[in-house]
Amino acid sequence: MLRYLPLLIAVAVTLYALIDCARTEQEAIRGLPKWGWLLIIIFIGTFGAIAYLIWGRQRRQGPGRGRNGKVIGPDDDPDFLRNL
C-alpha cells in the first residue's frame, strides 16, 4: 500500500494545480498566460504542477499585509482604517 503513496501524492498535486489554474482569473496568474500554464501542467505533469504552484500563482495577501507583502499593524493598514 505504501508503494502507491508517491503516485497518489503526485496525482493529487497535479489535479490540484490543474483545477486551481483553470479556476483562477487570468489577471491573477504570473509568468505565462493561463492556457500556457494549463498545457505545462497537462504535458509535464507533477513537475509542471509544482512549477505553476511556485511561479505561476500570485501570492495571496492575507490580513495584516501591506501592498508590498510586509506585515503591518492595523493602525498602519490603510485598508483596515478605511473600513472603520
- Over residues 32-48, the mean pLDDT reads 95
Share of the chain above pLDDT 70, in %: 83
Residue with cell 503591518: 72
Does pLDDT of 43 surpass 80? Answer: yes
- Return the exposure string of 18-52: e unless at least 16 CB atoms fall within 10 Å of the residue's CB, then b: bebbeebeeeebeeeebeebbebbeeeebebbbbb
What does the DSSP 8-state code read for residue 77? -
Does pLDDT of 2 surpass 70? Answer: yes
Count of domains in the chain?
Answer: 1
pLDDT number for residue 54: 93
- Over residues 50-79, the mean pLDDT reads 72
Domain that holds residue 20: 2-82
Of residues 70 and 12, more confidently modeled: 12
- Over residues 60-81, the mean pLDDT reads 65
